[in-house]
């Protein structure tokens, strides 16, 4: 197996030894995958009906993750929350087939990548260790990676911390695995709340714009702002780094 050639990326006064990526929403289009699952559950749904059920799913996940973060509910992995959300959606759609509910729950693992994701990760992986850091469970993350064709050097699940981002314990997983101080890691996400959580532990941050993301506020100060992974790679100077390679 060829040895990974890594660079310490110098950007202004900053230097990065590894890139840490959020997955849901940042690298895969989560709403698109869930919409597909909801339409399969009830093909008669029109657009507004599908969006209403999608919102029901999203509100359940957000509410229950918040309860876990606040200590109002013991930790359960994302699989359990997905099944709960699927059950609520099925009831609202008038579907009582347990098999159909399970199929809907698994749609959370079949999410399409954004058009720039696969090529962008491959380009970045030529130069730096890439770490996926997701709220998805270990099993869900495995299937997500396989379905979307995501390339990692290591993928970490919040399940290992028995918490959800933005709990600091989740970001600490990446710091521990990288074996570097937090400030040597660049956290990449389409969600400002996720980047704020990483900042609180000392990681550097890069915001990537996505239609389903959480945009920065006027008070946010992230290290990089990119339109997509192609733009991010360009800002990180990878064209220059590629040209420096001999063989």
pLDDT tens string 209-243: 999 989 999 999 999 999 999 999 999 987 544 43
170-210 confidence digits (pLDDT tens): 999 999 999 999 999 999 999 999 999 999 999 999 999 99
CA distances from 235 to 11, 124, 230, 231 (A): 8, 12, 9, 6
Do the domains at 9-29+114-244 and 30-109 have one common CATH topology?
no
Q: Where are the domains of the chain?
A: 9-29+114-244, 30-109
pLDDT for 52 beyond 70: yes
**Do 157 and 137 contact (CB within 8 A), yes or no?**
yes
Q: Is the pTM of this model over 0.75?
A: yes
Q: Considering the chain, what percentage of its residues have pLDDT values greater than 90?
A: 88
Q: Sign of torsion, CA 190 50 79 77?
A: positive
Class of domain 30-109: mainly alpha
| Architecture in CATH for domain 9-29+114-244 | 3-Layer(aba) Sandwich (3.40)
CA distances from 2 to 5, 126, 173 (A): 9, 11, 26
Please, where are the H alpha helices in the chain? Answer: 30-41, 47-69, 78-93, 98-106, 117-125, 138-148, 168-178, 192-200, 229-235, 238-244
**154 beta partners:** 131
- Which residue shows structure tokens 């997905």? 82
């Amino acid at each position: 197996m060829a040895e990974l050639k890594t660079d310490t990326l110098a950007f202004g006064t900053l230097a990065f030894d590894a890139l840490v990526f959020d997955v849901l929403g940042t690298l895969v289009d989560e709403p698109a995958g869930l919409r597909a699952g909801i339409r399969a559950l009830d093909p008669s749904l029109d657009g507004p009906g599908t969006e209403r059920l999608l919102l029901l799913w999203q509100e359940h996940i957000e509410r229950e993750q918040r309860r876990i973060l606040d200590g109002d509910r013991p930790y359960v992995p994302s699989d359990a929350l997905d099944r709960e959300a699927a059950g609520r959606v099925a009831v609202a759609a008038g579907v009582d087939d347990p098999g159909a509910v399970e199929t809907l729950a698994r749609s959370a693992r079949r999410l399409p990548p954004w058009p720039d994701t696969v090529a962008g990760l491959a380009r970045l992986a030529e130069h730096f260790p890439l770490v996926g850091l997701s709220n998805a469970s270990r099993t869900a993350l495995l299937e997500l990676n396989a379905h979307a064709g995501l390339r990692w050097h290591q993928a970490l699940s919040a399940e290992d911390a028995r918490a959800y981002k933005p709990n600091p314990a989740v970001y600490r997983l990446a710091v521990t695995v990288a074996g570097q101080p937090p400030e040597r890691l660049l956290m990449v996400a389409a969600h400002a709340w996720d980047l704020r959580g990483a900042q609180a532990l000392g990681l550097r941050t890069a915001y990537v714009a996505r239609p389903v993301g959480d945009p920065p506020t006027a008070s946010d100060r992230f290290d990089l702002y990119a339109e997509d992974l192609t733009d991010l790679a360009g800002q990180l100077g990878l064209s220059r780094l590629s040209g420096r390679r001999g063989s």
